[in-house]
Amino acid sequence: MRAPVRMKRPGDERGIALVLVVLVMTLIVSVTLRFNASSRTRVYEAANTGDGIILEHVSKSCIAVGRYVLKEEDGDVVSLRDDWARAGEVSLQSAAAFGIGHCEVRVVDESGKIPLNMLVDENGVVEVWHDVLERFFSLPLFGLSEQEACDIVDAVTDWIDEDDDITGFGAERGYYRGLASPCDCKNGPLDTIDELLLVKGVTEDLFHGRDDVPGIREFLTVHETGGVNINTAPQPVLQALSPRITAGMADDMDRYRRDENNDLSASSWYRRVPGMSDVTIEAELVRVRSDVFSIESTGRLDSMIRRITAVVKRERPGDMPVILSWTVD
C-alpha cells in the first residue's frame, strides 16, 4: 500500500515562515562565504563606478538561494506546494538583506515542460510526443492554424532527426542553406531552447511571446526530464497531454493539485478531478518526480538590471544541485 503523501499545514516547520528565514539567511551567508574580505572591499570601493559588479553578486546570491531551497526538499513527489515554488518571496526581503540593491528569484521545474528531444529516438519519431506537440502548437493561445502547427512539429522533427529526409512540410539542409543567413540543419538534439529560433516556422513573437500571449519557450525544454511532471506543468502543457483535456479541465486540474488535502503521489490523480474520470493520459507521458530546475535571478540597483539563469539538477538527496548551465543577460 502506498504511503500517503505528506501534507503541509499552517505552522508546519517547513511552512512559509521558515522559508523566509532560510531565504534571508542564505542571502547573507552566500555573500559572506563566496567573497573573502579583500574581494568585498574591492567591490564596495568600486561602488560609485562599478555598481554592475555589486549587482552581479546580488544576482549570484539569489541563484544560491534557489539551489539551497531545492537541496532541502525531497524530489520523489514534486508539486507546486513545495517551498521551491515560493522562492520568489525572497524578493520581499532581499533589499533589507543586502542594504544595496535587491533581487527577484524564480524557480521553474523543467519537468513541467514538454521535453522536445523526446520527439525523436533511435527508431525515429515517437508518436505520443509528436501528438503532444501538435496539440500544443494548435492551442488557440498561439494563434496558429492546424496546418501551421503541424508544419512546425515536422520542422522540429527534421532539426532533431539524423537523416536528410524531409518530414511532411518540414525542412532539411537545402532549406536552411538557402536562407539569407544560411546555416546547417542540426540533425541532432537541441542543446538550448534558443535553437528553436533557427527552426523553420518559429518566429520571434511565437518564441518570446507578445503582449499578453506567453512565448512557447515558457512551456518547452531541451533537458532530459523523462516526461512531464503533471504536478507542476502549466495549463497549456496539461491541455496538450490529451485531446480530451479542455482549457476548463486544465484549470480544474490546477486547482485540484494546489489543494493540500489531495494526494499527488501517483500521476493518475487527474482522474479524481470532477468530470475527468473517463479521461486518459498515456502513462509514459507523465510523472510526479522532478530533478532539473531553472533558477532565474534578476538583480536590480537603481535603473540597472542584471539577469542570471542557472539550470540545475538534483542528483542525490541532500546534495546541493549541480549547475548544468549558466546564462547572464
**Mean pLDDT across the stretch 133-140?**
98
Q: Which of 106, 105, 96, 87 is nearest to 28 (CA)?
A: 96
**pTM here?**
0.86
SS3 content of the chain, % helix, strand, coil (to 5): 45, 15, 40
Residue 126 has pLDDT above 70, yes or no: yes
**How much is the pLDDT for 34?**
47
- Given the C-alpha cell 524531409, which residue does it identify? 166
**How much is the pLDDT for 321?**
96
**How much is the pLDDT for 57?**
77
Could you write out the DSSP letters of every residue in 103-146? Answer: EEEEEEEGGGSEEGGGGEETTEE-HHHHHHHHHHHTSGGGT--H
**Mean pLDDT across the stretch 136-151?**
98
Residue 178 has pLDDT above 80, yes or no: yes
The ranges assigned to domains in the chain are: 16-111+297-328, 114-287
Task: Measure the CA–CA gap between 167 and 92, rounded to whole angstroms.
Answer: 50
Take residue 63 and report the three cell numbers written for it.
Answer: 541563484
Q: Across the chain, how many H-helices and E-strands are there?
A: 10, 12
Cα–Cα distances in angstroms (integers) from residue 151 to residues 12, 148, 166, 191, in the given order: 50, 5, 11, 21
Residue 12 has pLDDT above 70, yes or no: no
Q: What is the pLDDT of residues 195-224, one digit of tens each?
A: 999 999 999 999 999 999 999 999 999 999
User: Dihedral of CA 28/33/34/37: which sign?
Assistant: positive
**How much is the pLDDT for 188?**
97
Coil, helix or strand at residue 85? helix
Could you write out the DSSP letters of every residue in 221-288? Answer: E-S--SSEETTT--HHHHHHT-TT--HHHHHHHHHHHH-TTS--SSGGGGGGSTT-TT----GGGEES
Q: What is the pLDDT of residues 269-291, one digit of tens each?
A: 999 999 999 999 999 999 999 99
**How much is the pLDDT for 92?**
64
Write the CB contacts of 280 (distance below 8 Å, at least 6 apart in sequence): 242, 244
Q: CB atoms < 10 A from the CB of 198, how many?
A: 17
Residue 8 has pLDDT above 50, yes or no: no
Contact yes or no for 213/233 (Cβ under 8 A) = no
Residue 123 has pLDDT above 70, yes or no: yes
Task: Measure the CA–CA gap between 327 and 54, rounded to whole angstroms.
Answer: 17
**How much is the pLDDT for 76?**
87
Contact yes or no for 230/129 (Cβ under 8 A) = no
In which element (H, E) is residue 6 found?
none
Question: CATH code for 114-287?
Answer: 1.10.40.60
Residue 2 has pLDDT above 90, yes or no: no
**How much is the pLDDT for 87?**
83
**Burial of 192 (C-beta count, 10 Å sphere; 0-12/13-18/19+):** exposed
Least confident of 49-53, 207-211, 224-228: 49-53
Least confident of 45-49, 51-55, 264-268, 310-314: 45-49
| pLDDT above 90 coverage of the chain, percent | 67
| pLDDT above 70 coverage of the chain, percent | 81
Least confident of 226-240, 258-272, 273-287, 291-305: 291-305
Task: Measure the CA–CA gap between 293 and 37, rounded to whole angstroms.
Answer: 32
Contact yes or no for 234/292 (Cβ under 8 A) = no
Cα–Cα distances in angstroms (integers) from residue 313 to residues 67, 229, 310, in the given order: 9, 15, 10
**How much is the pLDDT for 53?**
73
Task: Measure the CA–CA gap between 288 and 222, rounded to whole angstroms.
Answer: 19
**How much is the pLDDT for 77?**
95
Q: Which of 191, 194, 286 is nearest to 233 (CA)?
A: 286
Q: What is the pLDDT of residues 56-107, one digit of tens each?
A: 777 888 898 889 889 988 778 999 999 999 887 766 666 656 666 678 889 9
**How much is the pLDDT for 203?**
98
In which element (H, E) is residue 28 found?
helix 16-34
**How much is the pLDDT for 279?**
98
